[in-house]
Structure 1
């Protein structure tokens, strides 16, 4: 198991010393900030960053920008999203990244219309049909992230906002290139971490960790909200989890505080085994 963090909002190069000094061994590069847009990862930069990561013993992954919609209703827009992820998979392969985390996408429409979510899910599946063969060929898995539910009267409908939906999708796509990143904060707003773990344990390569009040996606430092982290980490220990626990907080001091808090719990659990 590796302690990691989401590299945001600064460029990944600016986090190299930070990672080593604070005992992190994994870096997930978030591509949302302008200085980290995918087009800036030209071959020279990618090659140099790979050398730096390997020299420091750091593994890496990418996080696609969260507005990216692989379930878009407009064919031309969805095709552009697919092309973006295809390029991202290629860059990830060049970097030696272990996986690419992606949000599953969303539908837009009147919330009482059940076909809105069904159509969005169908579009996501079409995108996966296109992307997974490339991911298999490059040996860079796609890790789908579960999303927190939106209010029932919202006109945006997120996919994979329940463990049941995630489980159904995974059963339809047995590809070894389709993995899962369980966002613990999102999961706790959507029925609890254990429900998502039960359907995704065998395909989970990473977690995103941050705290909340179990009602809203607040991205608080673990230990300052209501999530039972001892229960979460006990589940990981008992399940033999060997992926990355990535702190998804944005201030450097919060990244460090989160890791230190969770490390203390993990050490107590391992000691009491």
Structure 2
């Protein structure tokens, strides 16, 4: 039911700039401090301390964005897959230590997969087996921590592929994330369905949404209202979702968070 409460994606150092808006109304926060090699290795303790300090007194829902650069959960090299698993596990440790109960990871499904999925025997099964090799220990650890992994669409063309992958684990610790900009970009570049169809396909598996706008040419991360996305229909679909996903503005310019919020609020979509 609309309007929906919305929060933001920020680094720990940026929280103070939006403190009252986030803390007074207990809005969702997604921390984006733990995505790099440095953050999960020699800077780990310092980043935990910085995040803990920045979040002091926060009572809203908290998640983090997990690592992703060079860390494809569908990696074909069997010697590299354990490294990817270890990196995801370290990020889960960070999430647990700062009190986050959600971690976003990137989908392995692409336009290449969509166009070639029937070109070879067992293409789906072979890809899924590699994903399970990387992710089974991660899903088990997420279960133990009580953290939900939210798998975000990146280059996905058909949302049902990612949903089927999530289903294959048979665990409440892995669910779906939607990035509105990525979905719209896939529509313009690859013939994907519109953003609201991504939401409706996810249904009650949806646990997290990155809200951003764009022009259909590049991953802009503009404030809502600056691009092409039809926000009323997207939020009608979100309003029908009973799983209460974390809803966060993921904007390139954090100074645009108030503008994006006010635009959606003026349409009666958020509060």
Q: Aligned equivalents of 2:131 and 2:169: distance in 1?
A: 12
Name the CA shift for 1:36/1:265 in 2 (closer, same or farther; >3 Å).
farther
> In 2 relative to 1, CA 223–126 (structure 1 residues): closer, same or farther, beyond 3 Å?
same
Question: What is residue 57 of structure 1 aligned with on the other side?
Answer: 59
Name the SS of the counterpart of 1:38 in structure 2. coil
Long gaps (5+) in structure 2: none
2:8 aligns to what? 5
How far did residue 241 of structure 1 move? 5.3
Residue 141 of structure 1 is matched in structure 2 by: 148
Judged with a 3 Å threshold, the aligned counterparts in structure 2 of structure 1 residues 122 and 103 are, in CA distance, closer, same or farther, namely: same
Residues 150-187 of structure 1 show CA distances to partners (whole Å, capped at 9, x for unaligned) of: xxxxxxxxxx4321212322332220100111111122
- Of structures 1 and 2, the one with the larger relative CO (CA 8 A, separation 6+) is 2
Q: Is the 8 A contact 1:4 1:26 kept in 2?
A: yes
Q: Which residue of 2 aligns with 1:218?
A: 220
* Structure 2 residue 251 is the aligned partner of structure 1 residue 255: no
Higher mean C-alpha displacement, 105-114 vs 117-126: 105-114
The answer as to whether partners of 1:72 and 1:106 remain within 8 angstroms in 2 is no
Partner of 2:108: 105
Distance 1:108-1:264 versus aligned 2 partners, 3 A rule: closer
Change in CA separation of 1:112 and 1:34 when aligned onto 2, cut-off 3 Å:
closer
What TM-score do the two structures reach when normalised by structure 1? 0.79
- Of the candidates 66, 74, 77, which is equivalent to residue 74 of structure 1? 77
Alignment of 1:1-273 (within 5 A): 2-7=5-10, 11-12=11-12, 14-23=13-22, 25-31=27-33, 37-39=39-41, 40-42=43-45, 46=48, 49-50=51-52, 52-67=54-69, 68-105=71-108, 114=119, 118=124, 119-148=126-155, 160-188=156-184, 189=187, 190-214=192-216, 216-240=218-242, 242-266=244-268
Deviation of 1:235 (Å): 1.6
How large is the Cα RMSD of the aligned pairs? 3.1
Moved more, 46-55 or 258-267: 46-55
TM-score w.r.t. length of structure 2:
0.80
Corresponding residue SS for 2:6: strand
Alignment length (residue pairs): 253
Q: Is the 8 A contact 1:209 1:245 kept in 2?
A: yes
